[in-house]
Amino acid sequence: MNDKHKGYRSVFHSGLFQGQVVLVTGGGSGIGRCTAHELAALGAHVVLLGRKLDKLQHVASEIVADGGRCAFHACDIRSELQVQDVVQAIVVAHGRIHGLVNNAGGQYITPLEDISAKGWDAVVATNLTGGFLVARECYKQSMQAHGGAIVNIVADIWGSMPGMAHSGAARAGMVSFTETAALEWAKSGVRVNAVAPGYIASSGMDHYPPEAGAMLRDMRATVPAGRFGTEAETSAGIVFLLSPAASFISGSVLRIDGARPQVRLGWGHVAAAPEAQQRDAVKPFDGFHRYEAPKVLQS
């Protein structure tokens, strides 16, 4: 783990988001937490959104301790009324919303034939409907008048998501939503893109049952890069798409997956050798000074 006292080691310049308000849903853990830290280190006033107030408060206290600015609101993004109210409160408090990282989501492992209608609806509501509601309200209450940038976090859905069909369907829907919103909202000076993380060593891995541990640890062997991605590598992609350098990028999906979807049957062992994994072009980037490895990977 990096020295927590040295601060976030972003590849972007420190004042990149100075004076901007960026909303991060699901900011209480994992990729959302990491992204919130990086944005705050780059000058943004970060606003965290999530269901568990204690987790949001903890991340906000970390950001403030590191010298950043952060606010937080408890919200169930599946509730249209809650989303409308919380976005209104953020606009009243801060004037506008410059950027949105639509990161909140979740799923569970189960065969397709065992997914109940209730389970299907719950995952789709979290990974698709909730993201739509937050994006729509940020647009209607702020970005329609002032412009802005939205990054929706999806997943490695290419080639299917066996064991998580409900999530795959919802994430594919969010990709389509991203493309449509990029078209319809361009007239207001709004860009909408998506980031699709592959196998990232993040706290989300610890949400799966213990019996999934061996499968999770073995997933790195199926990645041509030969390793898991880092939270900081994912955050860097998100930050780039929010930045002025991406001003002509909209309706796109940035995959951060080490080429995993390119793996095909019959190619045998494709993972990079350990020495190759340390070559400059592909070695892990870990700029997050407060990163905590998932417990399942420490077993």
Domain edges within the chain: 21-298
Q: What is the pTM of this model?
A: 0.93
Instruction: For residue 285, give the amino acid letter.
Output: F
Distance CA 136, CA 138 (A): 6
**Spatial distance between the Cα atoms of 124 and 146, rounded to a whole number of angstroms:** 30
Count other Cβ atoms within 10 Å, centred on residue 96: 16
Closest CA to 215 of 252, 163, 155, 255: 163
CA-CA distance, 177 to 172, in Å (whole number)?
9
Residue 33 amino acid letter: R
CA-CA distance, 14 to 5, in Å (whole number)?
A: 17
User: Which parts of the chain have pLDDT scores under 50?
Assistant: 1
Q: Given this model, what pLDDT does residue 5 score?
A: 55
Half-sphere exposure of 166 (CA within 13 A, CB side): 24
Among residues 86, 98, 87, the alpha carbon closest in space to that of 147 is found at: 98
Coil, strand or helix at 64? helix
Q: With b meaning 16 or more CB within 10 Å and e meaning fewer, what string describes 65-76?
A: ebebebbbbbbb
Region of residue 70 (left: phi > 0; alpha: psi -120 to 50; beta: else)? beta
> Are the beta carbons of 261 and 253 closer than 8 angstroms?
no
Residue whose C-alpha is closest to residue 150's, from 160, 142, 158: 142
Phi first, then psi, for residue 11 (nearest 5°) are -85, -5
Max Cα-Cα span within the chain: 57
Selection from 269, 270, 257, 203 nearest residue 229 by Cα: 257
For residue 229, the 8-state DSSP code is B
Whether residue 71 contacts residue 95, with contact meaning beta carbons closer than 8 Å, is answered with no
pLDDT digits (tens, 9 = 90+) for 148-187: 999 999 998 888 888 889 999 999 999 999 999 999 999 9
Query: How many Å apart are CA 34 and CA 132, to the nearest integer?
Result: 22
Question: Which of the four CATH numbers 3.50.50.60, 3.40.50.720, 3.40.720.10, 3.30.750.24 does domain 21-298 have?
Answer: 3.40.50.720
